[in-house]
Chains A and B, each alone.
Chain A
């Protein structure tokens, strides 16, 4: 049976803050941060945007691209670590806003930065079992970094929606297989009721990101019997530009393979949208027959790897909605004070 991405849609808020602007507040060296992180600016949500509005905008673009009747969608799953409600699913809001309600199921997912790809896997299961015709999987976040924390330079806002189906004539990108690698690794967390996450500093690197991404990616390559050279593009979770570049090299992928999907230098880490944003940016320019290898990572920790082949259908749907590069052009730059207001870091008394 063939399962794949019938359509996709991305959304990135228009506001940006530059690394220099954050660094001058905290007395950090902006040039060292930029070269170390390979991140130059990050997206910031508008005052009236949150993970739900971002998920809706991304899902609506996916619906425009697909042209399918929303009543065919049997499941809507939204992955985020910044769901606006602790209890009240974001996915119900999204499902209503795309016209998929009421004869469908919905739930919210949470797995740090890989909740969106976990939703993709759940939709693949429901679609392949025949339980639903189409499933909408979304990763969207308005991620938080505590004032002065290293995360402030990268924690950004954005989201991507993928419509998953099994009708071959509708599939724009076949998902050949997926593989996950999961352990209990406390590299990053946010306790209930706390406004900002905490993390293990350098501990997030080797025991967290690199171990899980490497094992997830190797696991899928071995399962499929494929090698890095069999793929035209590769996407890894991008908490910064350095980590995916380093893991790509260690696994044997080239800079040319990773470049089209590496969007983090311009928009920062969109958390649950991060790996999916790289996949969306790659689908924006891939040709029919191209193969894409992708591995998402979520702290906590785990990875989801995917092997994808683009079909002829991509050419038909691609330009029906804005591409990632179109979404991120023409930003509005704001200073730290306005950023702090947008993110609720300062409040009117």
Chain B
């Protein structure tokens, strides 16, 4: 997992899907950008909290997990497109047999990982099927 300061700096976006939006062209950014890639110096960026709903664009089912995630296999890792536009990679909680592309999902608050039994616990956003 990330170092403690590195994780701490991203708490806003990890907990609450805080990103940014350019008021000039209307594009949303997650993770947050402080510079609009479309409007460049005429862009006007401001904070934006995403609604937390979207759909699965693609997914994979992890059977052989990285260290720290072994107890969760098989689990779903998906590219999710938020309703506002940005795409992100996140775990989707649910039965891999019931998952499908274009499935609607919503954000929930879960443990993302931890640094062993004595280290920091990393909390943040995962997704579940929208009507669960």
Q: Do A and B bind each other?
A: yes
B42 to chain A, nearest CB (A): 30
Residues in A neighbouring B111, C-beta threshold 8 A: 48-50, 53
Is there an interface contact between A96 and B15, defined as CB atoms closer than 8 Å?
A: yes
Q: How far is the CA of A53 from the CA of B132 in the complex (A)?
A: 16
Q: Report B127 CB to chain A, min CB distance, Å.
A: 12
Chain B residues lying within 8 Å of A97, measured Cβ to Cβ, are 15-16, 109, 123
- By the criterion of a CB under 8 Å from any partner CB, how many residues of chain B are at the interface? 18
- B-chain residues with CB within 8 Å of residue A99 when the two chains form the complex: 16, 49
Interface residue A93 (Cβ < 8 Å from any Cβ of B): yes
Given contacts A96-B11, A99-B16, contact A348 B110 (CB under 8 A): no
Q: Mark A75-91, 1 if CB is under 8 A from B, else 0.
A: 00000000011000000
Contact across chains for A49 and B71 when beta carbons are under 8 A apart: no
| Chain A contact surface mostly | loop
> Is B126 in the interface zone, CB < 8 Å from A?
yes
| Contact across chains for B15 and A53 when beta carbons are under 8 A apart | no
Kindly state whether residue B39 has any CB partner on chain A within 8 Å: no
User: In the complex, what residues of B have CB within 8 A of residue A60's CB?
Assistant: 109
Interface flags for A24-55 (1: CB within 8 Å of B; 0: not) read 00000000000000000000001111101100
With contacts A97-B15, A97-B16, A341-B71 known, is A49 near B110, CB below 8 A? yes
Contacts of B37 in A (CB 8 A): none
Tell me which residues from 55 to 106 in chain A have a Cβ below 8 Å from any Cβ of chain B: 56-57, 60, 84-85, 93, 96-97, 99
Q: State how many angstroms separate the Cβ of B51 from the closest Cβ of chain A.
A: 12
Shortest CB–CB separation between residue A151 and chain B, in angstroms?
23
Structural contact, B72 and A48, CB atoms closer than 8 A? yes
- Give the size range of A's interface with the partner: 20 to 34
Inter-chain contact count A-B, CB under 8 Å?
Answer: 43
| B88 CB-CB contact with A under 8 Å | no
What's the Cα separation between A284 and B12 when bound, in Å?
A: 32
A313 at the interface (CB under 8 A from B): no
Closest Cβ of chain B to A328, distance in Å, is: 13
A52 to B15, alpha carbons, bound, how many Å? 12
Instruction: Please name all residues of chain A whose beta carbon is closer than 8 Å to the beta carbon of B110 when the two chains form the complex.
Output: 46, 48-49, 53
Q: Please, which residues of chain A bring their CB within 8 A of the CB of B49?
A: 99
Question: Once bound together, how far apart are the Cα atoms of A84 and B111, in whole Å?
Answer: 11
Q: CB of A287 within 8 A of chain B? A: no
List A144-201 residues whose CB lies under 8 Å from chain B: none
Q: Measured between alpha carbons, how far is A127 from B129 in the docked complex, in Å?
A: 38
| Closest CB in chain A relative to B37 CB, distance in Å | 27
Quick check: is A14 within 8 A (CB to CB) of the other chain? Answer: yes
**Across the interface, do B93 and A52 meet the contact criterion of CB distance under 8 Å?**
no
Mark contacts of B8-47 with chain A using CB atoms, 8 A cut-off: 1 yes-contact digit, 0 otherwise: 0001100110000000000000000000000000000000
Known: A53-B123, A96-B15, A97-B16. A47 touches B109 (CB 8 A): no
Q: What residues make up the interface of B, taking CB atoms closer than 8 Å to A?
A: 11-12, 15-16, 49, 70-72, 93, 108-112, 121, 123, 126, 132
- Which A residues fall within an 8 A CB radius of B? 14, 46-50, 52-53, 56-57, 60, 84-85, 93, 96-97, 99, 330, 341, 348
The 6 tightest CB contacts between A and B, nearest first, are A56-B109, A48-B111, A48-B110, A97-B15, A53-B109, A53-B110
